[in-house]
Chains A and B, each alone.
Chain A
Amino acid sequence: MNSKRIRLGLWFIQITCSSAFRDELEGDLFEIYERNCSKKSRNVGQWLFLWNAFTSFRFYRIHKFKNSNSTNMFSNYLLVTIRHSRRHKIFSFVNIFSLVIGLFTCFCIALFIKGEMSYDNFHEKGNDLYRLVVHDEKNETLSAKMSTHLSKLLRQSFPQVAVCSFGNDDIRIEHKGQSIISEGFYWTDSTFFDVFSFKLINGDRNALKDKNRILISESLSERLYGHTNVVGELLPLKIYDGDITLNMVIGGVVQDPPSNSHIQFEILGPMPKAQEIYKDLVELQGFYWLSSYALIHKTTLPLIQESHAAEFNKRRPENSNSQSLYFQPLSKAYLYSADINGWTSLGSITNVRLFAAIGALILLISIFNYINLSTTRLLTRKKEVGLRKSIGAQPLSIVQQIMTESIIYCLLSAIIALGLLYVLTPQLNTLISLNLNMKSVGLLDLAFVGGAVLAIALSSGLYPAFVLAKTRTGNQPDKYETPKGSLDTSKILLFFQYIATILLIACSLIVYTQYKYMRNYNLGVRTDNLVNLAVNDKAVQQKIPALKNSLLAIEGISAITATGETFPGRMQNTWNYSWPGMGEKGQVIDIVGVDKEYFDVLNIQFVSGSNFTREYVQDSAKSVILNRAAKELTEKNDLVGSKVTIGGSNREVIGVVENYHMQSLHHQIQPTAYFVAPTGARISPDNLLIRLNIEALSKTIRAIENTWGDFSSEPLAFSFVDDDLARQYTSESRFMYTLQIFTGIAILVALTGLFGLITFQTRQRFKEISIRKALGAGYNHLLLYLSSGFLKLYLLASLFGLPMAFYFGLNWLQEYPIRISLDVGIFIAALSIGLIASLTVVISQVRRAIRINPANVLKE
């Protein structure tokens, strides 16, 4: 009798309506159906039945969960968890707090590592991209830069490989009467878009094939014109080293390189133009200026490495036969280039590993905290567990209960930690400049975090769960009896926490001491109130003597010297160096052009001999001043008066100066030769070092600007030497601050754990303490008695932690030529910081326990 419509209606009722209401509903619907059938028609009745069935849906009639045992028990676990966390507010707080901090730190570090690992991963052909690194087998050095000669040879030897080279140059943009200095100018090849996946916003992909067209970045275009619709605009560029102004046409606008690209640029110019401008320079085989990248298919790489490398070796010039090519995968260019010269902005895989280790350490400390606290706390719940067992709970269900609790705590902490991370990312970025980016977090990461948190929850709940499940509670369910072995476990965990904390404290102390040592180190020169003024314009460089005289007339300037290198700065020019009676081995020496005032202005001491004099200036091609390192190379007692050969010409040594540092202490002092060079020579001065009087500083600087304006139309580019020197330690200070913050967090977490543990243990021992007091134990005696256990553990842990710190510290210090010696003082300091912190916690809690009135406790 039932048609399809009726059956559909009944089926809907069956799935949406609980059996308690089904008969009533179905019966009433059938009654209405029969009535409709007799009044109207069977067909209409059936349709109305279906309609009524669907509209009969009510929430109160939905199937209720079958009240099975497991769901009932689960809701009971939930309830008990909430009640317990309310009753023991301190412990719940300590538990969640330390987990939140640990997870938060871990998430931070994971985010940082994710950012570092994501470098250069946006290129579509990323797996086939390589950076070309020149390996010099004789000097055992790797260099990311190569000469034009080498790069040409490469293209000839590997015809089927797309190569793209970048050559940095100093330029100034002349735009609407403004002068803008751009640091991101590169000469590059027209293969740019074939090799890389940078996006062209508008313009011509092949613009760089034309000698007069350039590509500019989106942000530069916005800055200059306010929009990106600039193809065809004329942009005059002043090329400093070529001493030429070019009227270039904008051929295209490129999207800004993503921040996780190690190649960053603002303007790209055509390589053929560079070869035209620097005709002589690019022919020099020793002029290393190009960073080259190649697109090589995976399958052809071995072939290229073998056969074409042989071809390359055959063709390469005689004097470079110790050089070979090394193909570095682009994905490794950012993190794995610490040993490659000629690349400045680089991440370091050491830092990534270090942070990963610190993150793991802090997470471990907070997990141990959790295990310790929940185990000890759960021991007070033996009554509950005993009751559960006596009414039939199996050990498994006890494990389930405790696991449920653990998961609830961990998930809650993870959610709080993620929320904190989300809110605090901007502050964190300014505080420790880790460049965290929450936007890069995807669903996959969240799923991973969820899985990890679950794993933490299970692993940290496992131990307390099994301790309780195995405890026999049968006879005396209300007695707080420590199960055998559990206190030992909590002691072992505390021990590891101590080791980790001491290790971190000692390490950050070592880093701090080294940093302070470097910053306060005597460089051998006076750098106070010293200003470095760069003269980039070749035309102005010719007029340096006149400029010097005009500047000296300014009241606030006490001394000026012209030099060929910036201060602080790297020596850029080297020559061959030989002396009578030297061995076979060739030596090189840094050369720098100076003037007579140089050593006086910088307050550099003479070891022997004397400064250039006026007569020597006349005869500048014949004389040279060396530094102590250059003298020591010759292993002679005194060089003054003897001849040395530098760059093929004989010169008389007129003086030897004390070693001094031209740049940060990461670099060793190199043998250096000082010349007086005529203007226009390779090493002629292009820099002024000016010592100012500290009074009326702003007035002096205004006067300098005025004088500068008489000589040059360039903007004045000057900086204080002290500031620049400090900037060279940025990576150290960043590392130091980050390490200090993490150490602080680790101490905080460990102390919270200690606090929880000691509060709990002394509370359990109230009765014992009361009896001891009643029997006449003194305050000091009790204090020592109660805290000695923790003290012993701490000292034992330091026996492990401090040697580890010594080992790591020694390794880290290897990087620095100027370094502290690891003396006992640092370790004693580390030991006492940890000791004072943990003693404060222990004693404050123990004192509270001792102060209790025995009568109140013993009455119970």
Chain B
Amino acid sequence: MKGTNIGEFEELVLLVVGILKGKAYGVNVMDHIKEESNRSVSVSTVHSALNRLEDKGFVESYFGGQSELRGGRKKRMYRITPYGIATLQEARLQRENLWSQLLTVIPE
């Protein structure tokens, strides 16, 4: 098993996969990231992030149906695992904890 730490871009992708509710695959994850964060990423960058997340056990993949639009190729769909959700929550808690500490230091 690989390390359980999660990178910034990976966290972003993981969040998007969660938002897309089991309908996530390469292209729509890419589109969503572009919409939400205005970051232009290539589909292969998304693929490798998804691949790493799957290795770490945060998402799981399954094959969706073929379509003429995709040149007859199958879709690989991703959904977030409970472990993935727990990791996201943990990351958020960590942030909030740090934020609350920071707020006591800087005047609002």
Contact = CB atoms under 8 A, between A and B. Distances in A.
A757 to B, nearest CB: 47
Contact of B70 (A31, A52, A60): A31
Nearest to B71: A30
Nearest to B66: A27
A34 interface: yes
Interface string A11-32: 0000000000101111111111
B56 interface: no
A58 interface: yes
Given A28-B25, A28-B27, A58-B48, A52 B73 contact: no
Given A32-B27, A60-B51, A27 B44 contact: no
A58 B49 CA distance: 11
A56 interface: yes
A55 interface: yes
B56 to A, nearest CB: 13
Counting contact residues on chain A (CB < 8 A from B), the size range is 10 to 19
Nearest to B44: A56
B43 A29 contact: yes
A538 B95 CA distance: 105
Interface in B23-71: 25-27, 42-44, 47-48, 51, 63, 69-71
B76 interface: yes
A23 B43 contact: no
B42 A24 contact: no
B75 A27 contact: yes
Contacts of A58: 44, 47-48
A30 B69 contact: yes
Interface in A228-273: none
A23 B73 contact: yes
Contacts of A34: 69
A19 to B, nearest CB: 12
A28 B43 contact: yes
B74 interface: yes
Contact of B76 (A23, A32, A52, A60): A23
Interface in A1-50: 21, 23-32, 34
A57 B44 CA distance: 8
Given A30-B69, A31-B69, A24 B47 contact: yes
A32 B29 CA distance: 13
Contacts of A23: 63, 73-74, 76
Residue in A28, A30, A55 with the greatest tally of chain B CB atoms within 10 Å? A28
A59 to B, nearest CB: 9
A23 B70 CA distance: 9
Contact of A60 (B27, B48, B73): B48
Counting contact residues on chain B (CB < 8 A from A), the size range is 10 to 19
Contact of A21 (B27, B47, B70): B47
Nearest to A51: B42
A800 to B, nearest CB: 65
A57 B75 CA distance: 19
Interface in A52-74: 52, 55-58, 60
B50 to A, nearest CB: 9
A159 B70 CA distance: 90
A32 B70 CA distance: 9
A52 B47 CA distance: 13
B63 to A, nearest CB: 8
Interface in B1-39: 25-27
A584 B3 CA distance: 107
B73 A27 contact: yes
A49 to B, nearest CB: 10
Given A23-B76, A24-B26, A28-B27, A56 B43 contact: yes
Interface in B57-108: 63, 69-71, 73-76
Given A30-B70, A31-B69, A34-B69, A25 B44 contact: yes
B48 A55 contact: no
Contacts of B70: 26-28, 30-31
Contacts of A55: 42, 44
Contacts of B75: 24, 27
A34 B27 CA distance: 12
Contacts of A30: 69-71, 73
Contacts of B26: 24-25, 27-28
14 contacts: A23-B73, A24-B75, A26-B73, A27-B71, A27-B75, A28-B25, A30-B69, A31-B69, A52-B42, A52-B43, A52-B44, A57-B44, A58-B47, A60-B48
Interface of B: 25-27, 42-44, 47-48, 51, 63, 69-71, 73-76
Instruction: Kindly list the 10 A-B residue pairs having the minimum CB-CB distance in the complex, ordered from nearest.
Output: A27-B73, A28-B26, A27-B70, A30-B71, A24-B76, A56-B44, A23-B74, A23-B73, A26-B73, A31-B27
Interface of A: 21, 23-32, 34, 52, 55-58, 60
Given A52-B42, A52-B44, 18 more contacts: A21-B47, A21-B51, A24-B25, A24-B75, A24-B76, A26-B71, A27-B73, A27-B74, A27-B75, A28-B26, A29-B43, A30-B70, A31-B69, A32-B27, A32-B43, A56-B44, A57-B44, A58-B48
